[in-house]
Structure 1
Amino acid sequence: MDALLTLTDLTGQEFVILTVIVVVAGIVRGFSGFALSAMVMATGVLILPPIQLIPICWCLEMVASLMMARSGWREADRGIVMGLVIGSAVGVPIGLALLTSLPVETSKLIVLLVIIVLAVTQLAKIRLAFLATRAGLYLSGLVAGIVTGVAHVGGMVVALYVLSQDATAAKMRAALVLFLFISMFTSLIYYVLADVMDMQAVWRGLAFALPTAAGVFIGQWLFTPRFATYYRPFCLSLLCALAGAALVRTQFA
């Protein structure tokens, strides 16, 4: 255990708290198809700065995506997903450049505000009609990429896009799963080039991979199609509460 803490550069308490966070985030990802990174960011930002959480989230999303990619490939609209991925590939370096140029406290504030705004927008079921166009497809991908570079929560932007299509809950979940899986590879290139993905990040990702996988497995086991309409509101409300609490903590602690 001491060797693991040394490799991850975390205290015992930090390691335990982050383990609980990734298990809960994995459960949410398992039955909703998104929000793993958002959950980790909304709470983990109290322990580590966003720039250190992003590569951890990448590793955890890869674990979850490998477990869920098969269903996403079967059910998702692949043409739409690829359009989103292309836009995202352009946006990630923009968001990453913004994040790396900001002070830590400012980056925390921006990350939490982005999460809250995206969650509230989805809870309010705001449908932006222009997103249903071809231009809206690539614009959504671009914004998702920028948000991925800033907070690794591009899936929430894609959820807004899919919402504008009046898609079923199953189709929305599949599109999110497939987008997150494919966009993993493009974002990794940028993280390596920017030295965001280093060996310490890899060790942290490996350390939390198994707890995340356990959470995703539990979430998939809990997923019941007839209750699908309730999963998103629950996850988004929980996300708002966690991000709001973290925001208050970071600004007034």
Structure 2
Amino acid sequence: MTALLDAPLPPLLLAYSLCVVFAAGIVRGFAGFGFSAISVAGLSLIVSPAKVVPAIFALEVLASLSQLRGVVRDVDMRWIGWLALGNLMFIPVGVALLAWLPETPLRLLIGALLMAAALLLRRGYRAALLPTRGVRLLAGVVSGFINGVAAIGGIALAVLLSTVNMPPARLRATMIALLLFSDVVALGSAALMPGGAHASGSLLGPDTLRWAVWLAPAMLAGIWFGGRSFAGVSPEQFRRQVLNLLIGLSAVSVLRSLYGLLN
């Protein structure tokens, strides 16, 4: 118990981390996605991603559970099954591909493509995909694959769903439900993967719970604030703000990849 109460970072760095997670929570509360992308990008500036990524998976699960009760009636059941199936099949494919291709250039390419798509949609390009079973499965496959390769499958899915004219409440609720599923899968995978330095023998060592305990209050406060902001937004405002968010998150992914290439 004492170890859990020991801060994982010195006071100033901990304060910075809490601010990052609070901001990421606001985005999650408003849009239903984006928490991992912002948190990992911000925290990796001061600590190794390997130390915090498992905790971020755990926080994502907590975030979805905290939001799901209020949105479960809005989840689009025609979409969620196909999206979950595509993620289940292709998250492992994306992870496996990293064993054969250079990781950073691949992440850079995917981030750049997503940013270009979001910019086109933001500038008024109106792609109108029909929500057939094939389109739903394809959206799950693409988001699952990108999740496995670059851990930004939520961004890819948001780009795809913005082309099918889904009402904001339904889009947000469906994103929350799918992220709960995909993060449980990711958390389970982390539990099975060897972690080297962790006493438990997996990536989910004692530090995972300690990071989660310290960061969870800031995330939940941000989610509450972001959820209140969503309540008064019109469909057009929501679409515009989500596309702005997608452009920003994709840019963060591109900049992280460029930083990795240069270093």
TM-score bracket relative to the smaller structure: 0.7 to 0.9
Aligned residues: 248
Correspondent of 2:208 among 201, 208, 215: 201
SS of 2:166 mapped into structure 1:
coil
**Cα deviations by residue, 1:8-47 (Å, 9 ceiling, x for unpaired):** 4x44444332221111010011111111111123333333
Query: Does the 8 Å CA contact 1:36/1:61 hold for their aligned counterparts?
Result: yes
Equivalent residue for 1:215?
Answer: 222
Q: By how many angstroms is 1:130 displaced? A: 6.8
Q: By how many angstroms is 1:183 displaced? A: 2.6
Unaligned residue ranges in structure 1 (runs of 5+): none
Q: By how many angstroms is 1:68 displaced? A: 1.3
The one-letter amino acid of 2:233's match is P
- Which of 78-87 and 222-231 deviates more? 222-231
Equivalent residue for 2:233?
Answer: 225
Map residues 1-253 of structure 1 onto 2, 5 A cutoff. 8=8, 10-98=9-97, 101=99, 107=103, 110-111=106-107, 114-125=110-121, 132-194=131-193, 195-223=202-230, 224-226=232-234, 227-247=237-257, 249-252=259-262
Unaligned residue ranges in structure 2 (runs of 5+): 194-201
Structure 2: distance between partners of 1:185 and 1:118: 24
Q: By how many angstroms is 1:131 displaced? A: 7.7
Q: TM-score, normalised by structure 1?
A: 0.81
Structure 1: distance between partners of 2:148 and 2:46: 19
Please, what is the CA RMSD of the aligned residues? 3.1
**Cα deviations by residue, 1:95-150 (Å, 9 ceiling, x for unpaired):** 33455x499xx646654654453244223227766784423322322232233233
Query: Does the 8 Å CA contact 2:32/2:176 hold for their aligned counterparts?
Result: yes
SS of 1:165 mapped into structure 2:
coil
Query: Does the 8 Å CA contact 1:5/1:11 hold for their aligned counterparts?
Result: no
Change (3 A) 1:46 1:232: same
User: Which protein has the larger Cα radius of gyration, Structure 1 or Structure 2?
Assistant: 2
Structure 2: distance between partners of 1:44 and 1:114: 21
- Which of 111-120 and 84-93 deviates more? 111-120
Structure (1/2) with the larger helix percentage: 1
SS of 2:39 mapped into structure 1:
helix
